[in-house]
Structure 1
Amino acid sequence: MSGTASAPEPHLPLPVELPLVDEPGGTDVDLKTQMVRFIATGGLSAVVDYGLYTLFLAFGLPVYIAKSIGFVAGTTTAYLINRRWTFKAEPSRARFIAVVVLYAVTFVVQVGLNQLMIHTLPDEWWRTPLAFVIAQGTATVINFVVQRAVIFKIH
């Protein structure tokens, strides 16, 4: 026997996936289920976003930097969970690019609207949480509509 077993070809590791769904992916989840899951995911993502936002404000970072860091962490959390659980969609490079574009738009909307509210609302104890809720709520509506109508229909 002159043949020797060759070592398997090395390959890049797969991206981290959250094991939230056991069944195979598909975009046939009904609207009510998607909305409930999207809101639950959004709640968790908002906790991540707001928690980091207030933490970094406490450390003295400017509002727009603190909000930016919170937004990136919150939207990353949301995308990972929504793709697998809310919309049950398989990985797709085209979908990922579409999500990056959507999140860039909602980033500008959310950080800009938060900044506007911080400078417009009176300097009271409730200003920061109210500005966050207004900005987050606006971005959430935009995200759900675009993800359901466009992004998770991409193959």
Structure 2
Amino acid sequence: MLQGIASVPVASSFRNAMSRVGASVHIVTSAGPAGRVGFTASAVSSVTDSPPILLVCVNRLASSHEPILSNGVLCVNTLAEEQEPLSRRFSEKIPFEQRFDGADWGTLRTGSPVLQHALASMDCRILDALEYGTHSVIMAQVIDMKYRQDRARGLIYFDRCYHAVGSA
């Protein structure tokens, strides 16, 4: 627990309030000695562009948590509108290999799975992970990336529903 922050029983109220904050939808993947894993995430943010660093939050009870930290690498794949079914699959409690089925995957420098038609894919090396409450906050340095040049619509999660954003 952070010093000076009291424990207040407002988890459900906080989740309800945060459902009103729209966020981009990502599939975070990793591959290495601990295996190939991935999960759907909306808690991803840029920290700095020089050097390029991302913040990625993952629930400590999630099946992806330990393998990602053990692998030491991850890739943040930002989803387009048409990838909503893939987002749903990666949020299900099914074996990891089934999550990856039916999509076109490649790799960049870390070997983490890169979704070929993602809006953007940022291949990262994990710098640090800090535990706060139910989650780990991962700081990851982008070491390679690719992004689409077309005008595809993005996918956000708002009010517990998926929505397309942008103009195609």
Q: In which range does the TM-score fall when normalised by the shorter chain? A: under 0.3
Higher helix share: 1
Higher strand share: 2
The structure having more radius of gyration, on CA atoms, is 1
**TM-score w.r.t. length of structure 1:** 0.25
